[in-house]
Structure 1
Amino acid sequence: MDISHCPLLMKPSVFSDGDLLLDGFIPLYDLNLQPETERFSFLHKPTLRSPASWDWSNYPYVLAFLFAIEEINKDIQLLPNLTLGFNIYNALNIDQKTLENILLWISGGNQAVPNYDCQKQKKSVAIIAGTRPEFLADIGSLLELYRIPQVTYGPFDPLLSDKEQFPSLYQMATEDKFLVHGVIHLLQHFDWTLVGFFGTAGIKGEQFLKELKAQMEKKDLCVVDEILLSNDWIRKAMLVKMPTGCQHISKVNVSIVYGDADIFIWMHIFMTACVLSSRVWIWAMESYVDLNKMNIRSHFHGSLSFSPQKREIPGFEHFVKTFNPSKYPEDVYTIKFWLDTFNCSFVGSVCGKLEDCPLNSTLEFMSGDTSLMTMSEPSYIIYNAVYAVVRALHDLLLAKTETESTSNANQPAFFSWKLHPFLKNIQFINSIGDHILLDGQRTSSQQFDVLTTVAVPAAHGFTSKVGEFVANGPNNQHLIINEEILEWPSDLTKPPQSVCTKRCGPGFKKVTNETHTCCFKCAVCPKGEISNKTDAEQCIQCSEQEYSNQERNFCLPKLVTYLAFEDPFGMALACTALCFSVLTAGVLWVFVKHQETPIVKANNRTLSYILLISLLLCFLCSFLFIGRPHPVTCILQQITFGLVFTVALSTVLAKTMVVLLAFKSMKPGRTMRWLLASGVSNYVIPSCTLVQVVICGIWLGLSPPFIDVDTRSEPRHLLIVCDKGSVTAFYCVLGYLGSLALVSFSLSYLVRNLPDAFNEAKFLTFSMLVFCSVWVTFLPVYHGAQGKLMVALEIFSILASSAGLLVCIFAPKCYIILIRPDKNSLKSLRNKMDPRRNAHF
């Protein structure tokens, strides 16, 4: 028997009688449209149209609806002594036919007859309808005349929450607050920072885009190609040209698509026209959209989508396994579904039979789809919607029995509008433990399956699970992706890049573009700063005890260092100081050994001994500057240096004064002779040294030197140094030494040409010139030096100036004593003092 004989056109609804009725509107088929000549003509009676196409992907909604009613009728507590029947109407998605089946419901028959009422709807308690908000908005305005409660199972829509416009409408779905976060996590997982957006126009699409952009901005992600299409245009997409040309679409590799199943029509046209086979699409659907029924083929191969996780309701799997048309012989929808699925019918079917179906023919053995055993999100919402209405009805009947007598319990007088106060406050725990409320008030956690679309030969694309996104609140979310089973568009072998600028790796920071936050430059972190994460906004300063490595992504601990004897600088300076110390000691030994010779006596051997000892101490004090600083050595460094140099310079000053007084006393006058005889030069050394002792004492009393750690001079080292404490006191010591040197230089310069066989005035002048030159050079260089170099420079100045005094003053004398002893005699002295005798000889 041909299927066309099935009298479905005469029965546009499925009816099962009961004491009370629950009406459901589920989209199962579309009608052929009337020709244009008949559509708006009143000259001909409208002809009945056969279904143009069946949408069996929505048949699980029917199963959930029937399962809930069957459970309720078995529960003697919910509706005692009452049975719940049902009407199932097809919800047409065609704008011209939106109200057709609602008018059938009002008439109560199989045809919409104005002003006719078969009284069947008098037993109706509520209507469950839903997938499209436009359908609900259209029928809602009409049903408000009857104040019939309407519970929706479609996605939550803020327009339908307007209680002034829709006071009798209740939304079962919750307001989705986490789908945007799931999309953000997915973009971050694959490092997609620049994506396109396509969506349906309207409040929902605009709100989703606004929330998406706000969350993306927090994560430095950007949206381009914000294309919003009206539902009216989408449904006429096959009749008009595309609203935007392919040349205006940015070359991003990832795009987000938001909307319902209708947007697939336009996306299919767009993909075909623009040939974007390598683009990854992320389908952000608030409710489950069956991608298997879409004619997507290879265009959307590798696309990703989010689907609420299916629920396993106790008893539902057994219900599906045992379900067949024999349980509902008047259900023409089930009969038609069985014919299309198994190509058979049961005995007694209103559509006749093709072949007898086996007795065990159930949906358990349905080929190619095992998802019927669990509830999808819309099916689960329908299941809860039925229970919400029945529990509100239970509360109504319970309240009625407490206030009225139940004389006619079997046929109670019932008005559906009385359910509203109970539906508004209904809340309960369902069979799997979820807390159910109406109008999006439920705030439980949400779990999404991450699906990928895979194109297979000779078949439409199908989806497979590749991960999941769990949101237990705004601060407790995580995404799990199994990349091993992911398949990408046919042109790709790995996840595509969808960025404006490649990410700044560790060691770099972002320098954002003023026009676009996703477009930026990467700048290397400066020395001493690091960035240890990707796309760092700012570099992190290392602590003073650390330094940045060469890659600028890690702080390394600085090594402790100081001017040690093992360092090349330290070793060279120590060897130099030791050599000059030995040399000074040798000179002192020569002078002591030849202390009775004329040259030693003539140059005041006592002052020479003092000068040599002080120079020896100058060389030795250099060792206080080398090695690990200690509080004692820090104090001794500058104090010893200042005192021994003061002794040395005051000794040179005393020697100069002796020479000056000796020659001035030969002239008439008693003052110079008295000064020479009184030994005034012997008081120069202690008096000058005493002044330096006072300066050093004040230094130690106010701000003595101490150990300090220099963290800036050497980037990779912590330099342990002796801080001078009072810089003013240090320069006072140097200034006093400089003044002594300047006075000594001035006096020696005055007596440089005095005649004498062993006159050392010239040597004293030259030694003071060397000394002053060293320390004048030292001051500016010392100010610009840092770290070990500063310490080494001070040691070098000590050694150089001391060596200058030693060499300039004592080298000529040692030459005469050791190499020309013939000149170190009284005879030579007399010959040099009397030139006429030399001429006679």
Structure 2
Amino acid sequence: MGVSRCFTKTPNTITVRRVRVRAMHARAIPRESSEVRNVRSLSKQWLWKNYQYVLAFYFAIQEINRDDHLLPNKSLGFQLYNALASEQYTLLHAMHWLTGDHSLTPNYRCQTQNKSVVVLAGTSSVFSAEMGTILELYKIPQLTYGPFDPMLNDKKQFPSLYQMATSDRSLAHAMISLLLRFGWTWVGLLVSDDMRGEQFHQDIQAEMVKRGVCLAFAIKLPETKTKYENSDSSFLYWLSISSANVHILYSNIRSLFTMEQLGAFYLTVGKVWLMTAKWDIVMDETHHMLHSFHGGFSFSPNKGKIPGLKTFLKTVNPSHYREDFHFGELWFHFFNCLPAGSGCGHIGICRPNVSLENVPGHIDMLTVSDSSYFVYNAVYAVAHALHRVFLEKEEMVFPEDTAQALILPWQLHPLLRTTQFTNNAGDHVSLHKATPHQEHYDIQNIVNFPAGLRVMVNIGKFSSGSGRDQDLVIREDMIEWPVAFKETPTSVCSQSCGPGFRKRPEEGSAVCCYTCVSCAEGEISNQTDAEQCIQCPELEYTNKERTHCLPKLVTFLDFEDSLGMALACMALALTLLTLMVLGVFVKHQDTPIVKANNRNLSYILLISLLLCFLCSFLFIGRPNTATCLLRQITFALVFTVAVSAVLAKTITVVLAFKAMKPGRTMRRLLVSGAPNAVIPICFLIQLTLCAIWLATSPPFVDTDAHSEHGHIILLCNEGSITAFYCVLGFLGSLALGTFTVAFLARKLPDTFNEAKFLTFSMLVFCSVWVTFLPVYQSTKGKVMVAVEVFSILASGAGLLGCIFAPKCYIILIKPERNLSKSFKKTTGSKGVCQFS
């Protein structure tokens, strides 16, 4: 087994070759002069967790060489090389391995008998790509055990390179699903400044756009201190002041080490970090990272447990691999063993029963990392490919040919591309990644303790499949949050809009930044962060909080309402009063005052007023088809009769005084009762208008769901508004004409002249209806009906009071004035005029 003399920050490069016997051949490459001078100081910078790759490699080799079915009667041999984190040393060690000499002569080999046929490269995609450039010249297969990189999957550029890791194309979906599970929509993103970081940036941003998550900032992390010094360092400021409490970290190890050395992550305490499992190594080696990443989440490809590996890690020690210089250094570093002379495999004097199980400090050597798992699979993949090669050659070689056929590296390519097997952990392994497959991720919570100890608690998993969040399973009760949060943290640009509000985006800002506005009247939102409010059905209304639609109450001008009851009582009182006046007039029909004021017209007017008061009951109560058809028609006809009766009385008064003058024409008109013809003429005109109204667009029962909040008002729709106002217009014209005639006759002298009372009554009547029109137009619902009822009652009461109150006063209170001698004329002949 060949080993190197140093173990530094980059992953190991492993080469596998075949040997006939289970012999181990020691071989070493020289250390750098600076490392020789100060091995102890450099050991403080080594990534000791990386040594688990070597141990996993040892374990796989050991299992295969003990397996009687895989490579029977053959053993795997190997050479182990270490490489520094630089392109120069990567190429240097590659040339060392290819030439087998330190002269680094291109295309020269001193290893002519026992050639290595496969290379297992490290965790860095940059390192694998640099190695692949040289290895491709010789068609030597290279198996990488680092994270999947789409760039390395390009077979045109790297036809001899195989990645053991599966594609992480579902990682962005998994992270976004976790963000949405906790309502985190405002996050920061830190990626490495390379193609892989750029690809992840594009993938997760596309997923964010689809799922409604926004980026608070996006930072590209420089790989080296020099690049950092030449870059814009303002991102440190954004890290410290950002309102995003959740940061996604996706970068290479070099970038994170640079950040740690510069102390940038001192500013990130109190943030929730989402990262991939490859950061385990970095956190193991840096105390600063432990403090910063406490309470974060690590996404690791789901993998089974390799039987026997953990036991192997607990029991293995440098005495089992004496040629491995670094194993002894690791033992010395962890357990402070006293030196025991020079030479490989001498571990010195240590405490009794020490093992990797009780490694002090914060490094966990027993938890198998993803890369160690891929190393294990890579060794088995090579063994399966070699096994098939030997089977094919045994079938082709003649029995007399005792020499074993030589295996060339390029011969393994067809077999590696089609290699598929199930490892001892029960997982399917395939180097052919063309067929889509379901991806699984274990989600671990990072819990760190003040003493520098770290625990990765498995709190859930994600399985790519249907693309729904049901693929995510989380046990929230097991999560340990960063110390800055006493409960589940929030990470939003704007606080959530509760029920009853909707989001209004802010112009020029991300979609996650918005203001909350209350839903408009008639709209609700019954969920948090509603994009739009929901319109309530027409027969429902919103509650005060505007979170639910409630059924509207049906209402109308009911007799049980206070307003309806008041109007009904008023109408009943006026009806009784009219009946009383009519009874007084009937009882005293032969008295002079009743005769002098045209007894028949008085009866017609009183009966029409009685009907006017009674028709108001058609407006009160639940509307139906009959009442809707009758209310306005009845009102128009009876008021037409009443007003035309007043007009007839006024004309009669005027003709009576005109008849006192010489001439028989006026007397003939008065005696013939011509003024009374006004009533049927006006009635027929109004009846015609009403008939046209009913024939064209009659009134009907309707509902008003908007005038009164929370109520549906039952009302009568007038049908044709034009016809309705024509009827009112004729009635108004008639009233105006009556008022004009009465006003002109107001000063005619006579003891019982009622022209003044008729004038005043029509003034009250017109005033009521002139006031009615604007009030009627400005009100809605049952109040509008109440206004019309009140106008009917008020105008009728005006006619009743102004015309008949003075006469009833004389009849009942001053009967002495109701005598024939009172009819003497004040001018001339003292004649008496009676209109019976």
State if a TM-score over 0.5 links the two structures: yes
Partner residue in 2 for 1:679:
673
Measure, in 2, the Cα distance between the counterparts of 1:361 and 1:494. Answer: 40
Q: Secondary structure at the match of 2:120?
A: strand
Q: Secondary structure at the match of 1:656?
A: helix
Measure, in 1, the Cα distance between the counterparts of 2:185 and 2:437. Answer: 30
Partner residue in 2 for 1:612:
606
Q: How does 1:309-458 map to 2 (within 5 A)?
A: 311-313=303-305, 315-316=307-308, 320=312, 324=316, 351-352=345-346, 354=348, 375-393=368-386, 411-426=404-419, 432=426, 434=428, 436-439=430-433, 442-457=436-451
Measure, in 2, the Cα distance between the counterparts of 1:30 and 1:282. Answer: 41
Is residue 472 from structure 1 mapped to residue 465 from structure 2 by the alignment? yes
Q: Deviations over 1:335-372 (max 9, x none)?
A: 665666678999xx9624646999x9876777889977
**Cα distance change, pair 367–651 in 1 and its aligned pair in 2 (3 A):** same
AA of the residue aligned to 2:5? L
Aligned-residue offset at 1:285 = 2.9
Partner residue in 1 for 2:276:
285
Q: How does 1:593-608 map to 2 (within 5 A)?
A: 593-608=587-602
Q: Secondary structure at the match of 2:537?
A: coil
Partner residue in 2 for 1:712:
706
Q: Deviations over 1:108-156 (max 9, x none)?
A: 58997762332365352x3222300111111100000111122222112
Q: Secondary structure at the match of 1:472?
A: coil
Measure, in 1, the Cα distance between the counterparts of 2:799 and 2:554. Answer: 37
Partner residue in 2 for 1:516:
509
Is residue 764 from structure 1 mapped to residue 758 from structure 2 by the alignment? yes
AA of the residue aligned to 1:284? M
* Range that drifts further, 697-706 or 320-329: 320-329
Q: Secondary structure at the match of 1:161?
A: coil
Aligned-residue offset at 1:488 = 2.1
TM-score (norm 1): 0.83
Retained in 2: the 8 A contact 1:384–1:436? no
Is residue 573 from structure 1 mapped to residue 567 from structure 2 by the alignment? yes
Q: Secondary structure at the match of 1:802?
A: helix
Retained in 2: the 8 A contact 1:128–1:152? yes
- 1:743 aligned to which of 731, 737, 742: 737
Partner residue in 2 for 1:42:
none
Measure, in 2, the Cα distance between the counterparts of 1:561 and 1:749. Answer: 44
- 2:195 aligned to which of 196, 199, 203: 203
Retained in 1: the 8 A contact 2:503–2:516? yes
Retained in 1: the 8 A contact 2:295–2:479? no
Partner residue in 1 for 2:256:
264
- 2:224 aligned to which of 227, 232, 241: 232
Q: Secondary structure at the match of 1:160?
A: coil
Partner residue in 1 for 2:163:
171
**Cα distance change, pair 315–303 in 1 and its aligned pair in 2 (3 A):** closer
Partner residue in 2 for 1:117:
110
Retained in 1: the 8 A contact 2:284–2:363? no
Partner residue in 2 for 1:251:
241
Retained in 2: the 8 A contact 1:559–1:716? yes
Retained in 2: the 8 A contact 1:9–1:48? no
Partner residue in 1 for 2:25:
none
Measure, in 1, the Cα distance between the counterparts of 2:20 and 2:541. Answer: 80
Aligned-residue offset at 1:695 = 2.6
> Which runs of no fewer than 5 residues in structure 2 stay unpaired?
23-27
**Cα distance change, pair 387–659 in 1 and its aligned pair in 2 (3 A):** farther
Q: Secondary structure at the match of 2:768?
A: helix
Aligned-residue offset at 1:397 = 6.0
Q: Secondary structure at the match of 2:137?
A: coil
- 1:550 aligned to which of 524, 544, 553: 544
Is residue 823 from structure 1 mapped to residue 814 from structure 2 by the alignment? no
Measure, in 1, the Cα distance between the counterparts of 2:591 and 2:400. Answer: 153
Q: Deviations over 1:209-266 (max 9, x none)?
A: 33344444555554355432332337x87x9999448557661153443313333333
Q: Deviations over 1:594-630 (max 9, x none)?
A: 2222222222333222222222222222222222222
Q: Deviations over 1:510-534 (max 9, x none)?
A: 4433332255443333333334444
Retained in 1: the 8 A contact 2:313–2:357? yes
Retained in 1: the 8 A contact 2:187–2:248? yes
Aligned-residue offset at 1:267 = 2.9
Partner residue in 1 for 2:578:
584
Partner residue in 2 for 1:778:
772
**Cα distance change, pair 600–397 in 1 and its aligned pair in 2 (3 A):** farther
Aligned-residue offset at 1:54 = 4.5
* Range that drifts further, 708-717 or 112-121: 112-121
Partner residue in 2 for 1:703:
697
Percent identity among equivalent residues? 46
* Range that drifts further, 315-324 or 8-17: 8-17
Q: Secondary structure at the match of 2:280?
A: coil
Q: Deviations over 1:360-397 (max 9, x none)?
A: 98767778899777644323333443444455556666
Aligned-residue offset at 1:835 = 8.7
Retained in 2: the 8 A contact 1:501–1:519? yes
Measure, in 2, the Cα distance between the counterparts of 1:812 and 1:607. Answer: 16
TM-score (norm 2): 0.84
Aligned-residue offset at 1:295 = 2.5
Measure, in 2, the Cα distance between the counterparts of 1:371 and 1:503. Answer: 41
Aligned-residue offset at 1:33 = 5.7
**Cα distance change, pair 335–298 in 1 and its aligned pair in 2 (3 A):** closer
Q: Secondary structure at the match of 1:164?
A: coil
**Cα distance change, pair 14–494 in 1 and its aligned pair in 2 (3 A):** closer
**Cα distance change, pair 163–307 in 1 and its aligned pair in 2 (3 A):** same
Measure, in 2, the Cα distance between the counterparts of 1:128 and 1:475. Answer: 37
Q: Secondary structure at the match of 1:262?
A: helix
